[in-house]
Amino acid sequence: MNETLPSFLKQSGDSILFNTNGEMYFYIPEKFFDLKVAEYQGDCISLLGVFSYALKENGKMSPLRQFNYPTRFVTKPYKVEKLKSVKLIKESKPEDYRVLYYKKDDVVIVDINVPMDMDNAEDFINLFIISGHIPNTIPYDKLQNYFVDNISYNGSDYGISLQLFGIVIGELCRSNKDISKPFRLDKSTNMHDYRSISIIDIARLVSPYSAISSNNFNQALVYASINKNKVTSPLERVLTGEDV
């Protein structure tokens, strides 16, 4: 970890400590614990650094900020509190969180020598792509950086261009007003006004044919019957004899 530290943090040996007389709060979605990208290790917690945080100094709360270190590290808060049905920003859906509390000299990062492990990349892919749980506190136009940083911090490289990440992100992130529409087609200039879905669910939104061919047949049948998009694929035209 070779990042320049903000003034509210300081390094002590191989650890990073909170460095003011106020408090810091990490807002960890409960979904992180369900997916095991956040886990207790005794009195510490191992988690992916993709979440929101805020500071409280002189009795005043700072604006919400984004913790941007998309790999696993271990932290040691002095207290953890569960919150139900919270909206971190106005564009977010209500969600359950665990708030991690830190006071002066608490250990924010137990060891800056974060190990490189491809399991961390797998956890990230599971969170962002398989489960479709991309926090929309991250601006849409910054999402590709998280993919690149995650694999880089774990000692590898996808070896592909950012345009290909754009294709994936462009399908995962949907309009907040209409989930059937990709956010990129929403014409919104608000980079937080999106919601993400699992890559598994994308086929169900494209057309009746793609919906019926998705992996869960019972759900596929329902989605195919309610999908009104008049879109056909080359494979569908072949199978129905249109292109024969």
Q: For residue range 25-78, what is the model confidence (pLDDT) as tens digits?
A: 999 999 999 999 999 999 999 999 999 999 999 889 999 999 999 999 999 999
Taking only the tens place, the pLDDT of each residue in 109-165 is 999 999 999 999 999 999 999 999 999 999 999 999 999 999 999 999 988 888 888
Residue 90 predicted with pLDDT over 90: yes
Identify the pLDDT of residue 224.
Answer: 44
Taking only the tens place, the pLDDT of each residue in 154-196 is 999 988 888 888 999 999 999 999 988 999 999 999 999 999 9
Give the domain ranges of the chain.
Answer: 9-109, 118-236
Identify the pLDDT of residue 142.
Answer: 95
Contacting residues for 132 by C-beta, under 8 A, at least 6 apart = 172, 196, 197, 198, 199, 201
Residue 216's pLDDT band, with cuts at 50, 70 and 90, is low
Identify the pLDDT of residue 240.
Answer: 53
Average pLDDT, whole number, for the chain? 87
